[in-house]
Amino acid sequence: MNLSAFICVPILKCTAEKFSYSLFLFTIHYSLITLYTYLMKLDAALPPVPLKDVPAIAKAAEEIGFAALWTQETQHDPFLPCALIAEHTSKMEMGTAIAVSFARSPANLAYTAWDLAAQSGGRFILGLGTQVKAHIERRFGMPWPQSVTGKLREQIQVIRALWDSWQNGAKLNFRGEYYKVTLMSPFFQPSPLPVGEGLIPIYVAGVNTGLAKLAGELCEGFHAHPFNSPRYMNDVILPAIAEGLQKSGRKRSDITVSMTPFVATSPEEEAFARMQVAFYASTPSYKPVMDLHGWGETAERLSGFASKGEWAEMPMLITDEMLAEFCLMTTQENLASDLKKRYDGIADRLTLYTPFVPGEKDEWWRNLAKAF
């Protein structure tokens, strides 16, 4: 959004005869506040907890003022908590960040998202990620596709075709390279969702340009991987998203960029961030992030340590300069303003890498949420 254009509308309506200078200044101030609200929301990450703990966390998160609560596919299923979040909140959005798409069929994803959209009154966001080859083949026992973007594209297209069939009665007839989905009889067809609730947003996650382009072309949102820098977002990811948007004739405002930044306001948080950055930087498919900054050799050394299981040595390879690129190091008092400065024009939603745990720093979380 062009800031001058945004502010000029109320300015042009103001005349010296009708409005005082103080009202003029208030208009500009209100416009800036509205712009920040439009640009950036603060979300929270659900910690990896048993389902019995989800209702209390969901209630606390909504009371704090987070815009959304995101689940992950790590130690638990990412969809089951969303049903509980929907049941125990009334305004806050919820979604997966992410669910592993290649571990499921598009029909599985379509049915689950449909039920959660109905349960939440249209507050559910379907966030999909591909994971990496080793996990798909060796943890989920599923085949790795020849084209990652090609298969994910078809998954999204099939999901939307199923939703179109259920909501609008469209004939189901998808035939692609990876999927052939042509059967939908009334016995298996869910009821249409109320108007508005059937428009389920799809976000995809990625590190490299292929999935960023796909998000710009087909999706409502993009989950940027926590392992990135403002420079990588500006030089690599956002141009790729823009390319996808242009291909589909859409605008930047048609897609939401969600980021999960590392932040450190204490030596303990700094040490944790250094460890996580070392872990992510050791992943070969994430090497382009390091290459952009001229640290490709370090990434290769980290991969060597990881392949041998020598995890303790890895954080020592992350220099202070590297850490400053991938982690915002600040104070608790300046965190909100520094987050806005660092990600202004880049992110529409922010979720701190640190999960939200009720009872731990509640007042700090509440003040941070208010600042957004």
pLDDT, tens only, 37-86 = 446 999 999 999 999 999 999 999 999 999 999 999 999 999 999 999 99
Mean pLDDT, the chain, rounded, equals 90
342/164 Cα distance (integer angstroms): 39
Burial of 76 (0-12, 13-18, 19+ CB in 10 A): middle
Give 207-253 pLDDT, tens digit per residue.
999 999 999 999 999 999 999 999 999 999 999 999 999 999 999 99
The yes-or-no verdict on residue 1 having pLDDT over 60 is no
Give 88-114 pLDDT, tens digit per residue.
999 999 999 999 999 999 999 999 999
Q: What local confidence, expressed as pLDDT, does residue 127 receive?
A: 98
Residue indicated by tokens 């990496």: 132
Who has greater pLDDT, 318 or 372? 318
- Long-range CB pairs of 34-38 (<8 Å, 24+ gap) are 35/1, 35/3, 35/6, 36/340, 36/372, 37/372, 38/1
Q: How many CA atoms lie within 13 A of 109 on its CB side?
A: 29
Q: How many CA atoms lie within 13 A of 147 on its CB side?
A: 12
Q: What local confidence, expressed as pLDDT, does residue 195 receive?
A: 77
Q: What local confidence, expressed as pLDDT, does residue 139 receive?
A: 96
E strand map for the chain: 41-45, 68-71, 93-96, 99-100, 124-129, 174-175, 180-181, 202-206, 221-224, 256-259, 262-264, 327-329, 349-351
Model-level pTM?
Answer: 0.87
297/286 Cα distance (integer angstroms): 13
